Structure 1
Amino acid sequence: MKLDRIDKRILNLLQENGRIANADLAERVGLSQSACLRRVRALEEAGVIDRYVALLDQRRIGRRMDVFVEISLVGQSNEVLNAFEQAVGQSPEIMECYLMAGDADYLLRLTAEDPNDFERIHREHLARLPGVSRMKSSFAIRPIVRKTAFWLGGSGRSLD
């Protein structure tokens, strides 16, 4: 789907506030309410808008630690990769998992309440992941930049 300036503006505004009323969204992008709703529905149907979520403040729910874990596997066969990826998907504490190029095969990001909670996660989830030959954990001191919105050019406030 080719995005025009108005689509990008709609997406920028929805990324700022996914609960914005269609009437307000339409006014801010300069469309009628029905035309705006048609565009939003088209973006949803095309899969550009994947889903709507509530973003929680990690610290306020007690998840004060970010931990990054580099994983190297015993091999690269489809069976090893698939078993690992399926197991990672089942772990509720693993927030993100990336297949990597370089020294490690995967990079995980998880959150924990404190070091004791990380030890629990390590024992109950990380140590049980199949096919792991090496694991290296790094603890973030604090986030500097954490974004949830993709930059689409321009801004939500003008038709740049």
Structure 2
Amino acid sequence: MESQTELDEIDNQILKYLQKNAKTPLKKIADEVGKTETTIRRRIRALEECGVISNYTIRVCLSSEERKIKSFLRIDSEISKTRDIIKKLLEFPEIEHIYHMSGECGIWVLASFNNISNLDQFLKRCIGKTDGIRSVINCIILNELNKMAKE
């Protein structure tokens, strides 16, 4: 595939199956798409090499007792301290993802906690004591909606 990756209908069908279930057997995809298993394997490898497929993940379904509180934190920081703040944030195991956004959006963090009390302690202990953070907006995720979960 070229650097300006153009996906054709077959690539899109392959991606649809892998998004639904990354463990879908290549034979099943090949049968559904009307191509050989070798062709499907080659196309998946090409999609990986050009970055269309960057990793395979799992979605863990936890019981209600095991569910964690997930929260997006919008962090407004002093511009000169942004890099240091991001380095500091990387140290906290509660943080799953850090996004440095354009414009006035600042830093967005996705973090997980066992309960609201842990979230509150984290905000006071970690975020509140990090030099250069001007303010934090905490947005607790109520429901995670995923277009792939329509099954």
Which structure 2 residue ranges, 5 or more long, are not aligned? none
Deviation digits for residues 6-52 of structure 1 (CA, Å, limit 9, x no counterpart): 10111111010001111111112111011111001111111111011
Query: What CA distance in whole angstroms lies between the structure 1 residues aligned with 2:52 and 2:106?
Result: 29
Aligned residue number for residue 143 of structure 2: 143
Query: What CA distance in whole angstroms lies between the structure 1 residues aligned with 2:35 and 2:95?
Result: 41
Query: What CA distance in whole angstroms lies between the structure 1 residues aligned with 2:116 and 2:76?
Result: 23
Query: What CA distance in whole angstroms lies between the structure 1 residues aligned with 2:56 and 2:99?
Result: 22
Q: Tell me the TM-score normalised to structure 1 length.
A: 0.75
Q: CA RMSD in A?
A: 2.5
Q: Tell me the TM-score normalised to structure 2 length.
A: 0.79
Within 5 Å, which residues of 2 pair with 1:4-153? Answer: 4-57=8-61, 62-74=66-78, 76-77=79-80, 80-101=81-102, 104-140=105-141, 142-143=142-143, 145-147=145-147
Larger relative contact order (Cα-Cα within 8 Å, sequence gap ≥ 6) = 1
Distance 1:30 1:60, change over 3 A: farther
Number of aligned residues: 145
Q: Percent identity?
A: 25
Greater than 4 Å deviation, 4+ residue runs: 58-61, 101-104
Distance 1:18 1:109, change over 3 A: same
